[in-house]
Amino acid sequence: MSEEKRVIKKFKIRTYTGSKGSCVSCGKPIINGQEYVEVREDDKKEVKIPYRVGNYHYPCFAKRNYFIAFLDILGFRRFAENHDLFEQYATIQNMFVAARATRVEGSIRVDNSRSTMILSDIPYIAISDSIIVYQEIIPHTDTDDEFEWKERAFKQFIIGLEELFKESFRRKIFLRGGISYGEAIISLDSESREHIILGNPYLEAVETEKTQSWMGVAFHPSMNDYLGRTRNRTDLVEYQIPISEQFVALGIPNVTIGWVNLSMAQDRGIFDEWVTENDRHDQIKANTIQFFDYYIKHPTRIRHIQIDTHIKL
């Protein structure tokens, strides 16, 4: 028996009121008072989900594979001192609105390939000077290949981050971030006032962020194998990432997102307004200028967007 509490997407989260149930995932008992989710055969027919029929502890059901980026706003204290709370909120919100402006469902040509995707969906959580961006690996109805699911999610994730970095720079918000991948729980439920993010990908993204000396993003070493296999490698750029001396031995991959290209040529003057406070900040700015000047001559990666007429925007 159970008491229904709330709904997550299609599935109802209930509180168990028995003593004989067990979790399909971990095999441990579902005890009285614990939250659980029931997956029925009808659910599997209506929604493509990688779960067997049965009952799950809520944490076992909630865990998913994600790409997670942890981003730090460099010089946030100065930004906060020069803008009131309303202005801070509006700037961050508008930054994401602008980055999501390319959110289009349709036939997208990237270089020589064409595929259907959503651009720049960018789910995020902002906490003061920290931003968490994540991309869940979603099962697709046209294939059972889990690596293909991951490939599609990664392409969407990278395009979203590129747009976010462009729009943040144009607003003089200078970001530095780390990216990782793996199993995590991201539970954001305003009804139950529960906001939880757990998992190694988040921890690894945080660790990777602090290793760098620039405005940019790097991948955690645990992603080396995937970066060597992915077809999306051509969507990234090879670059000697400026790593702080104490972190060089970590083996951060020398690959990053291509957020700088010809479309930003008119934004070069923003560096004149980047105020630094010490030698370390000077180096961060100088390293960013070096990256910017190298890639500003590169063409925009998205060559053509054709929107299918039957899809609602």
Last-in-domain residue among 47, 62, 77: 62
Is 203 found in the same domain as 217? yes
CA 78 to chain centre: 26
Last-in-domain residue among 17, 32, 62: 62
In sequence order, what E strands does the chain have? 2-8, 11-16, 35-39, 54-57, 64-74, 105-110, 113-118, 124-127, 130-136, 174-189, 194-198, 216-219, 236-238, 255-257, 302-306
Is 120 found in the same domain as 50? no
Is 82 found in the same domain as 41? no
Is 227 found in the same domain as 151? yes
| 257 backbone dihedrals φ, ψ, rounded to 5° | -85, 150
Is 158 found in the same domain as 54? no
Is 161 found in the same domain as 15? no
Range of the domain at 54: 2-62
Is 157 found in the same domain as 39? no
Using alpha carbons, list the distances in angstroms from residue 144 to 65, 106, 148.
16, 22, 8
Is 153 found in the same domain as 68? yes
- Res. 250: pLDDT tops 60: yes
Last-in-domain residue among 62, 82, 111: 62
- Res. 221: pLDDT tops 90: yes
Where residue 266 falls among pLDDT bands split at 50, 70, 90?
A: very high
Q: Does some domain include residue 312? A: no
Question: pLDDT tens for residues 133-191?
Answer: 999 998 887 888 899 999 999 999 999 999 999 999 999 999 999 999 999 999 876 56
Is 227 found in the same domain as 95? yes
Where residue 301 falls among pLDDT bands split at 50, 70, 90?
A: low
Is 178 found in the same domain as 285? yes
Is 70 found in the same domain as 43? no
